[in-house]
Structure 1
Amino acid sequence: MFLRKLLVLNLALAGVISLEVHADELDTLQFKAGQSFQHDSNIFRLSDSASNQAVLGSSERSDTISVTTVGAKVDKSYGLQRFEFEVNANRYIYNDFSKLDFTAVNYAAAWRWSLTPAFHGNLTTDRQEYTDNTSDVQNTGQLNRKTNRFTLLDAEYEIDGPWRVIGGVFERNSTNSQPFTFEGDSRVRGVEGGVKYIFASDASLAYRFKQGNGNYPDRVSSSMFASDFEDREHEFKLDWPISGKTAVQSRLAYFDRAHDGLEARDFSGVVGNVSATWKATGKTTVTGGLVRELGSYQTTDSSYFVDNRIFVAPTWKPTEKTAVLLRYDYSRRSYKGPLPGFVSIDRRDTTNLGSIAFEWQAVRAVKVTTSLFTDRRKSNTPGFDYKSNGVNVSVLASF
């Protein structure tokens, strides 16, 4: 049955290529359908030292994945109100490891509300499910799917002049398909508040204080694990359009997580990111940046990780209908916070992720993309290194 539907979709896509869609038909309501095929040489991100036969029951570690996508998007304004909604259903079919087949339904919705021109805000919610190739699972040879949900109600009041008062409430959830992951599931509910200043150049500087109460669902408190925690964060954000060709966005924060009854799991430190976009020429744009993150990673010899990443992503558009996209990410991650009585193994990982893609806007409504990628992780701890290469071909139609 699914193969029949897939064949119908492919024929539909072939037919759409011959159509042109007027811009006004895409403004308010859009539908999309797509098909992609990706070959991955190491879908489980296994170390070279791992025995495929013992771990997977197969001599192969590569596979070809078919992804069928259907979705819809609405963007409509009514007076001072604006409503946005997008939903996508993605069906993943693995050629060899069929036990990994799944369907992900992702969405993003927003109400850009306004009571008066000076008092406005956002009610947003989204869900993203994806295969987390970097996730370490306790059972080698398993693939983890991570689902992140985030809901935010915020408000901004424009005081006389450039000052704004900002605040909001939020809920953030993260779950894993594998029951035994070192990062674990988490849920946080909190509030935020602060001030924002708008410069005459349209640059903005904002300060927020965020406080959240969280827990690790289904985790029982013990001498090794805490079930509840509290997050505190002082955050500064700067958006700076330096010129018509260059813009900078940055975030600098101090984050602190305190676990109820188990101080050994606590962690804190500076986090944030800075990214810049430079329109070098009419056909070339370069984006790059730095990212620093802290995250929970609970074993006997670690409680959290510190991740520092640098990336660069140039785009070249030789014609109006074609584009070449490159991206390179380099990260260094270290694991800290051993429990009392346990010796830290001082694990450190470096990851190199590179890709090159070619896009072709076949007609107004259809985009064809081909790409190559390489993903490598080196670790000073045996068993956590891997190498993977892949190729992807996709067609996406919007109508």
Structure 2
Amino acid sequence: MFKNKLIFLSVLTIGNSQAAYDQEDTVKLFADLAYVYDSNVFRLSDQQENNSTRRHQQKSDSSITTGLGGRIDLPLSRQNVYATAQVSYSNYLVFDELNGPAWDLGLGWNWVVGNQWSGNLAASTSNALSSFDDVRTSVVDTVQTNRVSWSANYQLLSNWALIANAAYVQEDHDVRKYQNANNRNLGAGVRYTSDRGFALTLLHNWLEHKYDENFIIPADLRGYTEQNTSLGLNWPVTAKFNANVTAGYTQWKSDFNGQKSTKPTGAIDLVWKATAKTTLSTGAGQNFDSFGSNFVGRDLERNAYIAADWQFSDKSKFGARYNYRQVETETSNGLRTQDSIYDTYQLSYDYKILRSMLIRSYVQFENRDEKINQFDYSDEQIGVSLKYNF
């Protein structure tokens, strides 16, 4: 069946287009329609049957998602106030308990004061079905995420600027309520921009993570505080080669026992325009996931990727990408409870039908190797989507 679907959808793979609207337009609207076949919807292990939902003995399903979205920009002198919205509804052919809406709504203000101050103030809310990737059981859960963020730049000298940021993020689950939590973040630093085009940014962040619900232990003992110092480099080495590098260290302290842990964190991303039609990119990094752990501890994530895009013509583009992801969950006393490796391979093909119409398609294969618990799984996906820009 999977092979038949692959052959059928390969005939339909037609892809990318330019928007019908221009970027300076006040109102930008789009509609989209997507079909996805997933061989392992709940990310169940290879040895595990699907006995957790009312549809037994089946792991695969297909879904059709319809959506509408848009953006409004209101330039006011040197300011820009904007609003974004994207709403969708998914229908599963078998697991109809997963049917439901999703949305992401936002308001923002790109502000400027005088000749030295500039920044952004934004707020957003989103609601979507929770991922099954790291859950181990097919619990149907949705998560609502509310965000407020602020950033500011003060141009101290022609090449030097002071920077600051603040953010609050709240996650609320309708079933796994023990995951309800919030993050408070404050950051400050300095940025140097060279006349040759590269930029260096030194930044220090303070973060506090708090849980709202008790989970074996009281909620106020499940959280942690964190400090992160990083030095970032954005360097357009040549007209065809660009590098982004961030290096630093992160220290987090558990509210449960005051235990501290320090890890190096950072990332590197390289982009090379090899030819007029070929772009190659690669990167790797190690960082903590703020909302990753369910108990007392942190999720350390290591990522790496390699990707290539070939622009065959003005209407068609082919892409290939490999992602490596490792997730280590470690409690405050140093006990490792998870060590998972994810390998994801994806091929995509886009075709521009009209100036306003975009069709994208992809085939994806993913495997998880769980080193501590027996939760290995494999998953195959095929997707085709049509997007129309008004």
Q: What TM-score do the two structures reach when normalised by structure 1? A: 0.84
Query: How many pairs are equivalent?
Result: 371
Output the CA distance in 2 between the equivalents of 1:79 and 1:354.
Answer: 47
The answer to whether the 8 A contact 1:221-1:227 is kept is: no
Deviation at 1:90, TM superposition (A): 1.2
Partner of 1:372: 363
Amino acid at match of 2:59: R
2:266 to 269, 272, 292: 272
CA 1:283–1:95 in 2, change beyond 3 Å: closer, same or farther?
A: same
Aligned counterparts, 1:319-330, within 5 A:
319-330=313-324
**1:307 is the counterpart of 2:301:** yes
Output the CA distance in 1 between the equivalents of 2:314 and 2:378.
Answer: 36
**1:213 is the counterpart of 2:211:** no
Partner of 2:65: 67
Deviation at 1:329, TM superposition (A): 0.2
Task: Determine helix, strand or coil for the equivalent of 1:137.
Answer: coil
Partner of 1:250: 245
Amino acid at match of 1:103: P
Output the CA distance in 2 between the equivalents of 1:64 and 1:291.
Answer: 33
The answer to which of 96-105 and 141-150 deviates more is: 141-150
Deviation at 1:185, TM superposition (A): 3.1
The answer to whether the 8 A contact 2:27-2:71 is kept is: yes
Amino acid at match of 2:112: S
Partner of 2:150: 153
Task: Determine helix, strand or coil for the equivalent of 2:230.
Answer: strand
Output the CA distance in 2 between the equivalents of 1:73 and 1:347.
Answer: 40
Partner of 1:285: 279
Deviation at 1:210, TM superposition (A): 1.6
Deviation at 1:73, TM superposition (A): 1.1
Output the CA distance in 2 between the equivalents of 1:169 and 1:21.
Answer: 33
Amino acid at match of 2:206: Q
CA 1:178–1:313 in 2, change beyond 3 Å: closer, same or farther?
A: farther
Deviation at 1:84, TM superposition (A): 2.9
Partner of 1:381: 372
Task: Determine helix, strand or coil for the equivalent of 1:161.
Answer: coil
The answer to which of 266-275 and 31-40 deviates more is: 266-275
Deviation at 1:282, TM superposition (A): 1.1
**1:297 is the counterpart of 2:288:** no
Partner of 2:326: 332
Partner of 1:222: 217
Output the CA distance in 1 between the equivalents of 2:219 and 2:122.
Answer: 36
Deviation at 1:26, TM superposition (A): 7.0
Amino acid at match of 2:117: F
Partner of 2:163: 166
Partner of 2:5: none
The answer to which of 82-91 and 228-237 deviates more is: 228-237
CA 1:223–1:23 in 2, change beyond 3 Å: closer, same or farther?
A: closer
Note the alpha carbon deviations across 1:186-226, whole angstroms, 9 max, x for none: 21223221111111122111112222333111236838981
Note the alpha carbon deviations across 1:336-376, whole angstroms, 9 max, x for none: 33659xxx466422111111111111111110112111111
CA 1:308–1:345 in 2, change beyond 3 Å: closer, same or farther?
A: closer
Partner of 1:8: none
**1:350 is the counterpart of 2:341:** yes
Output the CA distance in 2 between the equivalents of 1:128 and 1:354.
Answer: 28
Output the CA distance in 1 between the equivalents of 2:384 and 2:302.
Answer: 31
The answer to whether the 8 A contact 2:304-2:323 is kept is: yes
CA 1:353–1:111 in 2, change beyond 3 Å: closer, same or farther?
A: same
Task: Determine helix, strand or coil for the equivalent of 1:99.
Answer: helix
Partner of 1:10: none
Amino acid at match of 2:352: Q
Note the alpha carbon deviations across 1:94-116, whole angstroms, 9 max, x for none: 11111111211113433110011
Output the CA distance in 2 between the equivalents of 1:96 and 1:22.
Answer: 36
Amino acid at match of 2:233: L
2:78 to 77, 80, 91: 80
Q: Which runs of 5+ in 1 are unaligned?
A: 1-19
